[in-house]
Amino acid sequence: MSGTLDHSLQNGLGVYYLLVALMNVGFALYYQRYAEPRKPASATLWWAVAGFFALHAVAYGIFHAGWIMPKIIRTTVDRFADPISYTVLSVVGFAALLYWRKPLTRPQVAWGILMFSLLLGGWSFTDDNFRQIVAKEDNVPITMLIYSVGFFTWLGLYRAVQNDERMERGEPVLEKLEDEKVLVWPDLVYTELICMVIATVVLVVWSILLKAPLEQPATNAKAPNPSKAPWYFLGLQEMLVYFDPWMAGVVLPTLIIVGLIAMPYIDFNREGNGYYTFAQRKFAMVTFLFGFLVLWVVLIVLGTFLRGPNWNFFAPFEYWDPHKVLPLNNVNVSDIFWLQWLGTSPATVTFPGYSGSQLLNVIWRELPGLILVVGYLFVLPPLLAVTVFRKFFIKMGFIRYFVMINLLLFMASLPIKMVLRWSPLNLKYIVAMPEYFFNI
Amino acid sequence: MSVGDYIRNSQVWKSIFRHPAPRDRRNRVVVMLTNVFLHLHPVSVRKSGIALSYTWCMGGLTFFMFLELTITGVLLMFYYRPTLEHAYNDILMLRDVATLGILRELHRWGAHAMVITIWLHMYRVFLTGSYKPPREFNWGVGVLLLVLTLLLSFTGYLLPWDQLAIWAITVGSNMARATPFLGHEGPGATFLQVGGVPLIHSGSDARFLLLGGRFVSGDTLLRFYVLHCVAIPLAVGVLIAVHFWRVRKDGGISGPM
Ligand code: HEM
């Protein structure tokens, strides 16, 4: 296979695979020399993986073999990638992670997943379209975000699983084992110093290797396509697909902030304070992790890597074609009600008996949607209080429950609107009052 | 007498460090109490609380990033003027001419890193349930710090005054015009009028306040510059002080009862 990869890129890949191979050497040596008890079979496996990566390192770094990821894999991935499959897969992965947290956080399994993702990343990097997006200077933090969030999710769940098992056996949690007091000098100040030195080195190396981007001087005349907010807001920008700016850009962010501040006062569960655990605080864990991992990080990754010109979806190996056109035939609840059920055009609907007020006419037109929204916000909470959340309601009291349920319902509104949009209904707005900038 | 002993016995050294080196228990306590920076810490802490596998050192790293950004930020201010005439060219100069050619990089990548470390810090605090009583209030202080950190990043994004900058800020600040009641394209704004004259229009709404104009302009640049270099860092500094104070007052880093 001869390729079109230039030599400096191949040298870079060579170094990359070499580092990954060395990581595996370290991992294998651990099982061979230090683990109690020694695990020679595991060591052999990771030696083999190290060899596999070393092979890549030699191929790219020395022979410049120019291997490119097989076309068939890329086209298959692209064929199945769209916002639906991406989001659904993420949610399924999330559920699997929490459900099978015990087997999945076992060090060798987690390591295997990491290695698989590094291999996939390395292979994908040989694709021009993929590389152009991922290697963009300001997108580099997203790769760091993915790996650091992945690592710390593993670490947190791993410790939680260990603690849960310990508590089941009636043993104290890990944190309890180190209950004694130590002096801050030297124990803490040295840790801090080392962290600072490492952080400095990382920043300096990062700064030398990667130039800060600078594009053409600013002009109001020509907007780049796509125009994107800074990466940490791309989750919000992605919400614009499903909500109008007043919801995605103002109401929901405000509620995120308010909700975070309110959280300690809502969470009445006194267990799990000061140690890692999953079993003792399942509801809090599932809700927060869903919000942070799926609704925040996964959407940022989508907004950064997979949204191109005109905010269209582009599969990982697809060229960002500014002329790509996607058919949009979204309908609103009022269309369904008036047009599909009653056969009249919603535009001609007027308030019965009196048509002089535009506001009344619009409210009448949108009444079906308004009823749905009012039901969601005002009927659902008491219903849930006497059914699913009965125990919560009793323990929390009215105010706490009221705040929590509203936050939950707003949080759930995003996935709900996503599903409604993707469903055969193609639903855009539940309430559509563009006359008053009031679309939900 | 070795050189080291000579220095440690000099009047100068003793005037700075008022006690012997922290080699024994007593002096390890004293060093924490006599140094204003070390005094941010308590003298002794629970061992589990400072384990790297527990805190990930993420709060510390966030603080480190803040300090690093303050220092590199001050240096950048020597080279940068927030005007339409100069801003872009000053950045070009920084890239092409200035010595220590990675100043801008250190600042930009440090800012990205801080956003990541603060999220991870919050993640850790959540996973260990450390927001529970008695630390509810400090969690709230943390959330404000998070918001301010994102605003710092956001205001700084505009300063290079290139296409990336103004359009990212345009996209971000467009949201403000949809603010309910306060944005001219926000729900409810049409109802705020006096005698048929709308109170909220593109020249008086939330977005105008944010940008100092109807679109991202030189006035926006000045506004964001002042927010970025003075107002928000000051607020963050104050809140960090409160945050650290409360970490200690709430009983130090959390741990099992
Ligand atoms: C500029 C931003 C911030 C700085 C410099 C900072 C710094 C720190 C430091 C150094 C600690 C000591 C323990 C540790 O390192 O984990 C700490 C603890 C804490 N932080 Fe932050 N933090 C920041 C933002 C936040 C945010 C965004 C939150 C949550 C929303 C938060 C909530 C807390 C809480 C509740 C504690 C006590 C945790 C415990 O006792 O285990 N902080 N912070």
What pLDDT, in 10s, does the model give residues B147-163?
A: 999 999 999 999 999 99
Beta bridge partners of B250: none
Report the separation in Å between the CA atom of B141 and the middle of ligand 1, taken as the mean of its atom positions: 9
Residue A43 banded pLDDT, cuts 50, 70, 90? very high
Residues A47 and A85 occupy one common structural domain? no
- From chain A residues 140-169, the ones with a CB under 8 A of any chain B CB are 140-141, 144-145, 148-149, 152, 155-156, 159-160
Q: Which chain B residues have a beta carbon less than 8 Å from that of A144?
A: 112-113, 116
More confident residue, A362 or A325: A362
Residues A267 and A396 occupy one common structural domain? yes
Do residues B120 and A174 lie in contact, with contact meaning Cβ atoms separated by under 8 Å?
no
Residue B100 banded pLDDT, cuts 50, 70, 90? low
Q: What sign results for the dihedral spanned by CA atoms A260, A264, A266, A269?
A: positive
Q: How far is B179 from chain A (nearest CA, A)?
A: 5
Residues B170 and B63 occupy one common structural domain? yes
Give mean pLDDT, residues A398-420.
96
Let me know if residue B8 belongs to a domain: yes
Residue B99 banded pLDDT, cuts 50, 70, 90? low
Which atom belonging to ligand 1 lies closest to the Cα atom of B250? 40
The residue contributing the CA closest to ligand 1 atom 13 is: B59
Residues B97 and B200 occupy one common structural domain? yes
Residues A17 and A149 occupy one common structural domain? no
Q: Which chain A residues have a beta carbon less than 8 Å from that of B109?
A: 141, 203, 206-207, 210, 212
Q: Tell me chain B's radius of gyration from C-alpha atoms.
A: 24
Domain, as residue range, for A416: 229-274+327-440
Domain, as residue range, for B11: 1-44
Peptide bond into A327 cis (omega under 30): no
Residue of chain B with shortest Cα separation from A437 = B187
Tally Cβ neighbours within 10 Å of residue B193: 12
Which of B37, B48, B122 has the highest number of chain A CBs within 10 A, making it the mutation to test binding with A? B48
Report the separation in Å between the CA atom of B142 and the middle of ligand 1, taken as the mean of its atom positions: 6
Residues B116 and B3 occupy one common structural domain? no
- For residue B98, pLDDT over 80 is answered with no
Give the tokens for residue B48: 């589990």
- For residue A3, pLDDT over 80 is answered with no
Residues A364 and A238 occupy one common structural domain? yes
Residues B26 and B127 occupy one common structural domain? no
Residue of chain B with shortest Cα separation from A226 = B167
Q: How far is B251 from chain A (nearest CA, A)?
A: 11
Mean pLDDT of chain B: 93
- From chain A residues 182-241, the ones with a CB under 8 A of any chain B CB are 182-189, 191-192, 195-196, 199-200, 202-204, 206-208, 210-220, 222-224, 227-233, 236-237
Let me know if residue B133 belongs to a domain: yes
The residue contributing the CA closest to ligand 1 atom 8 is: B59
Report the separation in Å between the CA atom of B122 and the middle of ligand 1, taken as the mean of its atom positions: 7
Residues B225 and B103 occupy one common structural domain? yes
More confident residue, B196 or A396: A396
> Rounded CA gap, A396 and A384, in Å?
14
Q: What sign results for the dihedral spanned by CA atoms B151, B153, B159, B165?
A: negative
Residues B84 and B192 occupy one common structural domain? yes
Do residues B141 and B243 lie in contact, with contact meaning Cβ atoms separated by under 8 Å?
yes
- For residue B121, pLDDT over 70 is answered with yes
Residue B50 banded pLDDT, cuts 50, 70, 90? very high
Backbone angles phi, psi at B235, to 5 degrees: -60, -45
The DSSP annotation for B7-57 comes to HHHSHHHHHHS-S--TTSHHHHHHHHHH-TTGGGS-SEEEGGGG-HHHHTT
Residues A57 and A77 occupy one common structural domain? no
Question: What is the distance between the terminal CA atoms of chain B, rounded to a whole angstrom?
Answer: 50
Let me know if residue B233 belongs to a domain: yes
Question: Which has the closest alpha carbon to A138: A273, A258, A229?
Answer: A229
> Rounded CA gap, A20 and A32, in Å?
18
Residues A260 and A126 occupy one common structural domain? no
CA B115 from centroid of its chain's CA atoms: 9
How confident is the model at residue B190, as a pLDDT?
82
* A119: exposed, middle or buried (Cβ count in 10 Å: 0-12, 13-18, 19+): middle
Let me know if residue A299 belongs to a domain: no
C-alpha dihedral over A192, A198, A200, A205, to 10 degrees?
Answer: -170
From A51, A68, A85, give the residue that closes a domain.
A68
How many CA atoms are closer than 13 Å to the CA of A308, on its beta-carbon side?
Answer: 20
Residues A40 and A168 occupy one common structural domain? no
Let me know if residue B256 belongs to a domain: no
Residue of chain B with shortest Cα separation from A188 = B50
Residues B69 and B18 occupy one common structural domain? no
Residues B9 and B109 occupy one common structural domain? no
Residue A2 banded pLDDT, cuts 50, 70, 90? very low
Let me know if residue A286 belongs to a domain: no
How confident is the model at residue A1, as a pLDDT?
39
Ligand 1, CB cutoff 6 Å, lining residues: B 55, 58-60, 62-63, 66, 118, 121-122, 125, 130-131, 135, 138-139, 142-143, 145-146, 149, 240, 243, 247, 253-254
Let me know if residue A295 belongs to a domain: no
- For residue A276, pLDDT over 90 is answered with yes
Q: How far is B12 from chain A (nearest CA, A)?
A: 23
Give the tokens for residue B112: 């990205």
Give the tokens for residue A400: 């706490």
Residues B103 and B219 occupy one common structural domain? yes
> Rounded CA gap, A206 and A156, in Å?
27
Q: Which chain B residues have a beta carbon less than 8 Å from that of A220?
A: 166, 215-216
Let me know if residue B80 belongs to a domain: yes
More confident residue, A362 or B195: A362
DSSP code for B143: H
Which of B70, B175, B210 has the highest number of chain A CBs within 10 A, making it the mutation to test binding with A? B175
Number of structural domains chain B divides into: 2
Give the tokens for residue B97: 């001419």
Mean pLDDT of chain A: 93
Let me know if residue A58 belongs to a domain: yes
3-state DSSP assignment of residue A2: coil
Do residues A191 and B57 lie in contact, with contact meaning Cβ atoms separated by under 8 Å?
yes
Residues A59 and A78 occupy one common structural domain? no
Residue A425 banded pLDDT, cuts 50, 70, 90? confident
What pLDDT, in 10s, does the model give residues B10-22?
A: 999 989 988 888 8
Do residues A267 and B132 lie in contact, with contact meaning Cβ atoms separated by under 8 Å?
yes
Q: How far is B122 from chain A (nearest CA, A)?
A: 10
Interior angle at CA B114, CA B112 and CA B120, nearest 5: 110
Let me know if residue B254 belongs to a domain: no
- The amino acid sitting at B129 is G
Let me know if residue A62 belongs to a domain: yes
The residue to which tokens 């907004």 are assigned: A303
- From chain A residues 26-55, the ones with a CB under 8 A of any chain B CB are none
Let me know if residue A126 belongs to a domain: yes
Which of A159, A183, A257, A403 has the highest number of chain B CBs within 10 A, making it the mutation to test binding with B? A183
Residues B142 and B38 occupy one common structural domain? no
Do residues B192 and B200 lie in contact, with contact meaning Cβ atoms separated by under 8 Å?
yes
Residues A371 and A255 occupy one common structural domain? yes
Interior angle at CA A437, CA A434 and CA A438, nearest 5: 90
Residues A428 and A332 occupy one common structural domain? yes
Give mean pLDDT, residues B110-127.
98
What is the maximal distance between C-alpha atoms in chain B?
Answer: 90
Let me know if residue A413 belongs to a domain: yes
Q: Which chain B residues have a beta carbon less than 8 Å from that of A276?
A: 127-128
Residues A197 and A254 occupy one common structural domain? no
Beta-strand runs (E) in A202-262:
none
Residues A142 and A201 occupy one common structural domain? yes
Q: How long a stretch of residues is chain A?
A: 440
Let me know if residue A306 belongs to a domain: no
Do residues B27 and A164 lie in contact, with contact meaning Cβ atoms separated by under 8 Å?
no
Number of structural domains chain A divides into: 3
Give mean pLDDT, residues A267-294.
96
Let me know if residue B257 belongs to a domain: no
Residues B108 and B56 occupy one common structural domain? yes
Peptide bond into A37 cis (omega under 30): yes
> Rounded CA gap, A348 and A45, in Å?
71
Residues B26 and B135 occupy one common structural domain? no
Which atom belonging to ligand 1 lies closest to the Cα atom of B56? 16
> Rounded CA gap, B156 and B225, in Å?
7
* Mutation choice for ligand 1 from B52, B125, B132, B136, CB with most ligand atoms inside 8 A: B125
How confident is the model at residue B193, as a pLDDT?
84
Let me know if residue B255 belongs to a domain: no
